[in-house]
Structure 1
Amino acid sequence: MFVIIADQIGSSEDADRVAGALVDLTERFTDGYPLAPERTAGDELQAISADASVALETALHLLRSPHWRVGLGIGAVRTPLPASVREASGPAFASARAGIEQAARRPSRFAAVGAGGAGVRTEQLGALIDLLLAHRARWSPAGWQLHDLLESGSSQAEAAERLGVTPQAMSKRARAAGLRIDAEARRALAALLADLGATVEASTPEGALA
């Protein structure tokens, strides 16, 4: 299971962004959350998913904004799940808490932590996610605009027509942003995260969930 904790940066000097983020996440990934994401503190939210791709995309989506830091916890969660994510518990939540604490000290504003003996593999996966985040940090607003259109299901030709540019210009924009590389990297990272999650959960002693 995967737990995401996101903490709003500088919330004491900024507008509350948690409520809007919760609506956005629920609209985008609602089928991937067994429990609805919730505010768990004044400037913090939590989400949980058994789907590695949803967990990864949740973290990446939040990190598009400079207003968030994110911890991703990998591990087991006590079942049956309660009615609220605020009532859920297990090693994955402790790992996510450790992740958000580490994220506060990292330039990427992100850290992944695996429960049990998954430290080295989690560090390796986190380094690859940091690399993806660095790649995305160089995108122009036009690159993000095209990314969003393609992710919503539009073809590159449809996106070009919608934005009023030639297909050639659109192809150039996609190459400049490395959108194909980004999509392939996210698929690969989700697969690695899923494999790591299965390994961590399988190695969790039953007593850890008692």
Structure 2
Amino acid sequence: MFVIIADQIGSATDVDRVGGALDELVTRFGTAYPLPPERTAGDELQALSVDAATALETALHLLRSPHWRVGLGIGTVRLPLPGSIREASGPAFVAARAAIEGAARRPTRFATVGAEAAAARGEQAGALINLLLVQRARWSEAGWQLHDLLESGLTQAEAADRLGVTPQATSKRARAAGLRIDTEARRALGALLDDVSATVERTAPEGGSA
């Protein structure tokens, strides 16, 4: 499983952003979470996912804002799941705690830690995700606008019409941001993270965890 811990940066001198972030996550990914994401400390939230793509997109969504650092832990979680993520436990939560501590030392504000047999491969996956984040940091506002429209299901031609620009201008914008590469990279990273998680599951002791 995948545990995401997000910590608000500079919360002592900023407004509380946890509630708004939780609302966004529930609206966007709510049905994909086996337990609702929750505030687990004053300026911290946690989310749990069985699906790598959901875990990755959760992290990327939070990191789009400069107000968050994010740690992704990969490992087993004690079963059966409790009623609240605040009561859940297992190596994936320990890995996520180590990851959020590592994220504080990275310019991308993100780190991944794999528990148990996934330690080395979790680190490798994190390095690739950080490359993706560096690429995204170069996007212009126009690039993000086009990304959002395409992610909503519009074609490039439909996005051009929505933006009031020519299809040629939209294609140029997509190439400048590397949007196709970003989509392909996220798909590949989801598959890699699923493989890392499967390694954990294969090597975990039988019973009581997943």
Cα distance in 1 between the residues matched to 2:20 and 2:164: 30
| RMSD of Structure 2 on Structure 1 (CA) | 1.1
Give 1:41 deviation, angstroms: 0.4
Counterpart position of 2:107: 107
So what's the TM-score if we normalise by structure 1? Answer: 0.97
Establish whether residue 20 from structure 1 lines up as the match of residue 14 from structure 2: no
Counterpart position of 2:49: 49
Runs (5+) with no aligned partner, structure 2:
none
Aligned residues: 209
Establish whether residue 84 from structure 1 lines up as the match of residue 84 from structure 2: yes
Cα distance in 2 between the residues matched to 1:159 and 1:195: 34
Residue type of the alignment partner of 2:51: D
Give 1:127 deviation, angstroms: 0.7
Cα distance in 2 between the residues matched to 1:119 and 1:197: 11
Residue type of the alignment partner of 2:22: L
Residue type of the alignment partner of 2:138: R
Counterpart position of 1:8: 8
CA contact (8 A) 1:91 1:208 kept: no
Establish whether residue 63 from structure 1 lines up as the match of residue 85 from structure 2: no
Give the secondary structure class of the aligned counterpart of 1:7. strand
User: What percentage of residue pairs aligned between the two structures are identical?
Assistant: 76
Runs (5+) with no aligned partner, structure 1:
none
Residue type of the alignment partner of 1:169: A
Give 1:205 deviation, angstroms: 2.6
Cα distance in 2 between the residues matched to 1:207 and 1:171: 51
Once the two structures are superposed, residues 48-82 of structure 1 have per-residue CA deviations (whole angstroms, 9 ceiling, x without a partner) of 00000000000011011111000100011111111
Residue type of the alignment partner of 2:202: A
CA contact (8 A) 1:69 1:104 kept: yes
So what's the TM-score if we normalise by structure 2? Answer: 0.97
Residue type of the alignment partner of 2:186: R
Counterpart position of 2:164: 164
Residue type of the alignment partner of 2:81: L
